[in-house]
Amino acid sequence: MTQRETTVDVVDFTPGRWGNPNDQMELSDSVLKALTMLGIDEPAPTPVEVAIPQTRLDSDAHGALTATGARVDSSDAARTKRLRGYSTPDLLKFRAGDGGDAPDAVVEPLDTDQVAAVLAVCDDRRIGLSPFAGGTAVTGGLAPDRSRPVISLDLRQLTGLLELDEISQIATFAAGTRLPDAERLLGEHGFELGHFPQSYEGATIGGCAVTRSAGQSSIGYGRFDDMVVGLTVATPTGIAEIGTAPKSAAGPDLRQLFLGSEGAFGVVTTVRVHVHPVPTVRRFYGWHFSDFASGSAAMRALAQSAVKPTVLRLSDEAETGLNLANPSAAGSASASTPAGGCLMIVGFEGDEADVDCRDTYVSARLAELDGTPLGTEAGEHWRTGRFRGPYMRDPLLDAGALVETLETVTFWSNLDALKVAVTAAITGALGDQGTPAVVMCHISHVYPTGASLYFTVIANALDDPQKQWAAAKSAANAAIRAAGASITHHHAVGTDHQSTYLQEIGDVQVRALRAVKDALDPNGVLNPGVLLP
């Protein structure tokens, strides 16, 4: 009998606050007590009403956009709902009443042809256009340059499973389809995508493509860009259909131009992805390791073996401890998790014979590598609460904490040094401001050659927390670049990572990308200032 993933509803996030507004989180007494050790004992100021600037879209432009058949809304309410994303700087600006990045109108097309028509209007009038779908961006990708009028191109009317090739296991989705809806629609045919980022409740198929999203089952099913076999992309110079075969030697793979492009090269309107049958068996376990080094070594051994689990993640000592203190928040620790050391989650999905085989091998290997099995309680606790982690940030901000995340990726031989360097950079930058910090880390995406590191930072918020975090983020970016790692594994570039990203790829690649931008978007209307300056 097939086992469906835990049912998760599509969530319309509240501006300025993550997740389902009817299912917010409270901090446990033990977490609140721990915060006092960092000097966090005063609630943050009450958020003020957001001030939205007057729209700069004139009546002529409004009429031309309306004539495309798309819905056009320049009300303050609609524009506020499309204000930035969900990074901590985004939320802090919202709490401070800063609505300066609001688009001048929200435009909702119904199909690819209407998207192309809207693009033509914007290109003719030099109006900036920022694609919007789930709105869960965390690196400034929804805050384009506003030196000209800018519209938010809301793609959420482009939704649904358009085609399913069960023989080839390829599903074609409209780009605005939310991930829970995609899984529901596939499940009706006995298939699933298996892409579960923590933004799952709000993220869309198209958003995952243009940000190179990585889901929690990445070791089993790959990142989202590994799943994509084809795209339809609307640009100011025409509509491109990309991907005619699984693999090809017919020149460079042009899918890679648009995967990760964040709307700067075109608007993705349909996505073709590899899917698989719904698993008949799902097993999730907890494992305990005495320290992060031994746990990461075990992860490397599995990543470099021929037999792998579907899910593999490791929390360091600090993150394991926080999850134990507030287990309902992150869903990654339970009563069966020992105090101290590190928690590893190992999950298997597939048919019974496949899961039995991989489970037997992986369990034996982890035991050889000094892991202690904790059984299924911790694993199931994580699986059923896997999307709760980000919900903890808002109550921490309410309590007067500064809390934010960042991530990076490097080769295994550089992993330990990178973790030390980034941790030192963050603690140093915040400590210099008189706010000692707790820096937690986990590994949730591994490859034969390397892995990502995901950091969560908590400190006492100063009177200007945006400036406070900017100093810490700048120090972390510099440490990542000095270590030779990448500025982002799956959060994308946006505007926040742009300067470090340009350093990372170098002048030759910058010139190549700018040439692509000039060819596809000669008037620079697509998400201006995002990805490339």
Q: How high is the pLDDT of residue 323?
A: 79
The pair of three-digit structure tokens given for residue 350, joined into one six-digit string: 């597939």
Taking only the tens place, the pLDDT of each residue in 47-61 is 999 999 999 999 999
Taking only the tens place, the pLDDT of each residue in 192-241 is 999 999 999 999 999 999 999 999 999 999 999 999 999 999 999 999 99
- Binned at pLDDT 50, 70 and 90, residue 30 comes out as confident
CB 15 within 8 A of CB 83: yes
Give 133-157 as a 3 state SS string: CCCCCCCCCCCCCCCCCEEEEECCC
C-alpha span between 341 and 315 (Å, rounded):
9
Residue type, 191: F
Least confidently predicted of 19-23, 109-113, 327-331, 512-516: 327-331
Q: For residue 396, is pLDDT > 90? A: yes
Half-sphere exposure of residue 387: CA atoms within 13 angstroms, side-chain side: 24
CB 378 within 8 A of CB 286: yes
CB 449 within 8 A of CB 430: no
C-alpha span between 260 and 208 (Å, rounded):
9
Taking only the tens place, the pLDDT of each residue in 443-487 is 999 999 999 999 999 999 999 999 999 999 999 999 999 999 999
Instruction: Using the Cα atoms of residue 507, residue 513, residue 519 and residue 521 in order, give the sign of their dihedral.
Output: negative
CA 510 to chain centre: 24
pTM of structure: 0.95
**SS3 at position 71:** strand
